[in-house]
Amino acid sequence: MHKHRILIVDDSPSELRILMETLKHKYAIVVATSGTQAIQMIKEDSAIELVLLDVMMPDVNGYDVCKEVLKISPQLPIVFVSSNDSTEEILTGFDVGGSDYLTKPIDTNVVSRKVEVILQERAKLVELQCQNQDTSDMVMSVIASAGHLGTVLGFLRAGLKIKSHEGLISALFDVFDSLNIDACVQLRTHAEPINQATNGTLTPLELDLLTRSVDMKSRFLERGTRYIVKFDSVSVIIKNMPVNDDMALGELRDNLMMILEDTNALNQKLIESQFSHVQPERANDAKNGKQAAVDLFNDMLASLHVASEINEKFEEQILNFIEDMAIEFEQCFFKLELLDDQEQALMSLLEKQAKALTNNLDKSAELRSILKSLHKLIDNHKD
């Protein structure tokens, strides 16, 4: 029975022992205790299918080892092992070509599951590459003769006919293929997000970054040839930005913004359409159900009562604050032995803040009056 061959690289005997004990029953394990040794083993052993690589090692750090290993075997999946799982650490691992990461202390169940998933996806990728080699050659020939702007405009026109999230992401990857873009995408729908990559599968690291991109403060993030773009309902990681060609880089950025802005708008329309068919039923229920109207009035009454209570507490807090502040200022005058002009400056500051708070109280009184009017209006029409 064939056993997948895994290289474990770590200078810690205890960490090596944990990983070996976890994986040795199912996989063929080879070990390196330094980055230099690991690189040499990759050169000599082409049967290695996965590398578990410690980040912190004394001779060569894991990121530099990863770069050298991928020069030798570009398709070899590398999983970093680190005690740091910050976004910055993950991005650094992603930048150098890592497929995933494991955190220390090591969870043996997580290790087993991730190793199994990565090896399965690697097998699928190899099979897919073999099957699609002829098709890829033909597509590349078409791409070479296609105009980039025409491709983008074609996508914008085609978007008018798209009726599903699946159709949208398929059209998006068609234009990516035409522009020779290597990307992975997360399309956020009314249900579960749709995740897809150019090669058909996302690494766990790519999925993690797409999910984290929702919290990005800016629209995009650039790291070398990687370019992460986020809109409300779609996020994209471009993995092959032409950083050495300023003109091509600028053109691609502009095209991407047009494509993704349109994708976001189309996706949001699709999300809205998912709920449009239930609106007539809701309208009929509201029209024919007297109880629904009664419930609505009761809910509004309850909300107004709560709002009134909050408003009164707010006024009381402001008054107490003004009184406390005045007392504290008087005590400070005696303790600090201030000069007359210093006391006047502080009193002016106090009066200014007190006036601002009083204005808020006036607005609060207006709000209370409005709430009472609404309360009375609902009471009059409740029955």
Structural fold of domain 5-131: Rossmann fold (3.40.50)
Query: CA 70 to CA 25: how far, in whole Å?
Result: 27
204-231 pLDDT, tens digit each = 899 999 999 999 989 999 999 999 999 9
Query: CA 73 to CA 71: how far, in whole Å?
Result: 6
Is residue 379 very low, low, confident or very high in pLDDT (cuts 50, 70, 90)? low
Three-class SS state of 34: coil
Is 72 buried (19+), middle (13-18) or exposed (0-12) by CB count in 10 A? exposed
Q: How many CB atoms lie within 10 A of CB 181?
A: 21
Distances (CA, A) of 313 to 307, 352, 357, 358: 10, 23, 14, 15
Return mean pLDDT, the chain.
79
At 308 the pLDDT is: 54
User: Which residue did the predictor score with more confidence, 298 or 201?
Assistant: 201
51-69 pLDDT, tens digit each = 999 999 988 999 999 999 9
At 142 the pLDDT is: 41
- Using DSSP bridges, classify how beta strands 100-103 and 194-197 pair: parallel, antiparallel or unpaired: unpaired
DSSP string, 104-172: SSP-HHHHHHHHHHHHHHHHHHHHHHHHTHHHHHHHHHHHHHS-HHHHHHHHHHHGGG--SHHHHHHHH
Query: CA 43 to CA 6: how far, in whole Å?
Result: 14
Q: Of all helices (H) and strands (E), which one includes residue 97?
A: none
User: Which residue did the predictor score with more confidence, 103 or 296?
Assistant: 103
At 251 the pLDDT is: 82
In sequence order, what are the beta bridge partners of 51? Answer: 7, 78
At 374 the pLDDT is: 59
Instruction: Match 């910055």 to its residue by tokens.
Output: 88
Distances (CA, A) of 372 to 9, 198, 317: 72, 60, 21
Structural fold of domain 133-276: Beta-Lactamase (3.30.450)
At 122 the pLDDT is: 83
Say if CB 211 and CB 198 are below 8 A apart: no
At 209 the pLDDT is: 92
Segment among 72-81, 82-91, 326-335 with least mean pLDDT: 326-335
Is residue 277 very low, low, confident or very high in pLDDT (cuts 50, 70, 90)? low
Whole-structure pTM over 0.75, yes or no? Answer: no
Instruction: Match 């040795």 to its residue by tokens.
Output: 24
Q: What residue spans define the domains of the chain?
A: 5-131, 133-276, 284-381
**Which tokens hold the place of 78?**
């590398």
In sequence order, what are the beta bridge partners of 237? Answer: 184, 228
Is residue 279 very low, low, confident or very high in pLDDT (cuts 50, 70, 90)? low
From edge to edge, which strands make up the β-sheet containing 226-230?
Answer: 194-197, 183-187, 234-238, 226-230, 220-223
**Which tokens hold the place of 130?**
């073999």
Say if CB 338 and CB 346 are below 8 A apart: yes
- Using DSSP bridges, classify how beta strands 48-54 and 78-82 pair: parallel, antiparallel or unpaired: parallel
341-357 pLDDT, tens digit each = 766 766 676 666 666 65
Segment among 237-246, 356-365, 372-381 with least mean pLDDT: 356-365
At 146 the pLDDT is: 44
At 250 the pLDDT is: 85
Amino acid at 195: N
Q: Which of 276, 277, 13, 258 is nearest to 153 (CA)?
A: 258
State yes or no: pLDDT of 171 exceeds 60.
Answer: yes
State yes or no: pLDDT of 145 exceeds 60.
Answer: no
4-60 pLDDT, tens digit each = 999 999 999 999 999 999 999 999 999 999 999 999 999 999 999 999 999 999 889
311-332 pLDDT, tens digit each = 555 556 556 656 666 666 666 6
State yes or no: pLDDT of 139 exceeds 50.
Answer: no
Query: For 257-262, what is the mean pLDDT?
Result: 90
State yes or no: pLDDT of 191 exceeds 80.
Answer: yes
Q: Where are the alpha helices (DSSP H) in the chain?
A: 13-23, 35-44, 62-72, 87-95, 108-131, 133-145, 148-158, 165-178, 204-212, 246-276, 279-288, 290-336, 340-381
User: Which residue did the predictor score with more confidence, 198 or 294?
Assistant: 198
